[in-house]
Every structure is written in C-alpha cells, then in structure tokens.
Amino acid sequence: MTTLAVRYTAARTLDTAPAEASPPGPGEVELAPAFVGICGTDLHIFHGDMDPRVRTPAVLGHEMSGRITRVGPGLEGWQSGDAVTVMPLRWDDTCPACRAGHQHICRHLDFIGIDSPGAMQQRWTVPATTLIRLPHALPLEHAALVEPTAVAVHDVGRAAVRAGEKAVVVGGGPIGILIALVARAAGADLRVVEPSAHRRALAEQLGLTAWNPADDVATLVGAWTEGAGADVAFEVSGAAGGVDTAVEVLGVRGRLCLVAIHPKPREINLHRFFWRELTLIGARLYDRSDFEKAVTLVAEGTIPAARLISKVVPLTEAPAAFEALEGGGDIMKILVDCTGDSPDTADTDTDAAQGAAE
C-alpha cells in the first residue's frame, strides 16, 4: 500500500513523497497519524544540524496523535480504531542507564522520528510498547500536544517544584509555556522571561506573568521575591544570555533545571554556584508516567491546547510550515494534518474514519 510521507533529504530540503506501508509484525501496530507537531528538534534536523545522526531520506515527526488501523499477529489489548499517542523511545534494556531504571536515557536510545522513521506520514508502524492510550473524548488535534507536555512534566519533576515556590522560566516558546503551566498546576508562582512580544502576550492571556529580557530581570525578581531570589529557574532559551539570566535570578540553594539543547558549551558563573550553593539539574525526555500525567493534563484542560496551536496545515504543506516556523516569534505550535487521502489510501481509511466519527 502506497501512502504519503514528509521526508528530510538534505539541509533545508524536505519533500512529500510516496512511502510503502507494510503490515505490522508481531508486537507491532500500524497507525494512521492524525496530527503531528513540528518541534525545535525537527527544525534542528531541517537546518542540517543533526546530519551525523539522521539517515536520509528521513521521515520526521514525534509529537503525534492518531488511531490504530491494523494490529500485528497475536497482539492483545489493542484494536483498530483505538485513539493513541506514541512515546517515541526504544531502548536496549542492557546498558548501565537501563539497568538502573533510566531507560529514557539509554546509551543506545532509538528516538523514533530522529533515529528511525517518524510520524509525519499517513501510515506508521510502531512497537505496541510505545503506545499511550488516549481518552475517548480528547480531540486528536489537542492530543498532539501530549508529547511536549510530557517533556514539561518531566522537567518540573526533575526540578522537584513544590507548592509555594517561586520559579522563573527563561524562554517562552512551546516548551517554556508548557513548563510554566505544569509548574503552576503544581502550585508554584511563575514568571516567564521571553523576548517575543507575541509570546509574552500569549503567556499573559494564559494567566502567566511575562517579562522582557531587555528589562532588568534580576531587579524584577528581587522585588518579586523580596530580595530572596527564585527557588527554581528553567533554562529553555538555548541562548548564552538565557543561561546567565537563569543563574542570576536564583536565591540561596536555588535549582537550575537545564532543558534547552545548547549547540555548543556555554560559560557559566561557577562562583555564583559556590557562593549560593546552587544546584544544576539536567532534564531530558520523559518516562511513561510523565506521558500518562501529560494525557491527564491535556484532557482536563490544565493545558489549554487549542490556545497553543497557531496553525494546522495539510501534510503536503509541511515543508512550507518548517520555513514559517523559522520566524519564531509570532508562531507557537504548527500541526501537520496527516488525514488527507492519497489515491492509494482512500479505501483503507474506513476504520480510522469510523473511529474518529464515534
């Protein structure tokens, strides 16, 4: 069966091309992706920054929602029409990280959508172990935000945010806003630092207080905390200035949670760490419990998914959407709608269409 897929072929080059869908094998399911989000990692791939890791032509996409279309031989517990998202991780279960219970940072991790084919296609076969069930009433468009919400859940958990603490999120893009919303749900008092006026305005509309980094953020934090400094800072900007801000705003024994992927080593004020006994915490990806909590947060409306989705484009317009995202500031999240029929898939979409209509 021939379907369509969005493929990365070289730096700044994407195409929409036919792809062959084979039947799922034992322990696998075939999915009809409905909506797939474009994230910062996808943009890094698009720019050619991850060429040593990505094998071309590469089908992108790991933030997704969809429905099962076929179930592999002997697999129980799943059926055609089930609404799901995918935790896009495969690990070896043998390395020291896996043996210690940290499979999400396996030394030989297969991040599906980067190291192997992703969700930006009309049919996608994945291991059933990666599936996360979605509530019947959760719109699939909103469910495409479960994966980035799981990132935020993991980040807030790693930082051990407690009710009543003051937290600063440096970077108000999709992950930064999600971290702020998850931390607020945990009872923290939040401030978001973001240069884009559009994103600051959106943060304010969501009930968050947002500051421009061009202002004196350290002075603002001092007034807000009565001179104590923040308990937690999340560095989500990926910029050297963001690192400086995140360190500067922390009070005694504050915690800096590093979320952004920095393309090169950064200078950091270690004297500040010594003087105030600060703690640096790395946060990468998520585990199943983070994903399951993320489903709940999106389904109950704690994450206002509809407000965070800037645009939905058909699969054939995905290459142009990547270019639009490069502008950054006026766009929060673009979803790719993979549900449009290609000539060879029209007769095979019955199960998914019926499930969507229920």
Query: Which amino acids are annotated catalytic?
Result: 41, 44
Alpha-carbon torsion 49, 175, 208, 328, what sign? positive
- What is the C-alpha separation between 4 and 319, in angstroms, rounded? 13
Rounded Cα distance between 232 and 214, Å, is 21
- Alpha helices (H) along the chain: 40-46, 96-99, 140-143, 146-158, 174-185, 197-205, 217-224, 240-248, 270-276, 288-299, 305-308, 318-325, 350-357
What six digits make up the tokens of 94?
A: 């043998």
- Say how far apart CA 199 and CA 204 lie, in whole Å: 9
Burial pattern 130-166, b for ≥16 Cβ within 10 A else e, equals bbbebeeebbbbbbbbbbbbbbbbbbbbbbebeeebb
CA angle, corner 252, sides to 249 and 258, nearest 5?
Answer: 55
Residue 337 tokens read as 């709608």
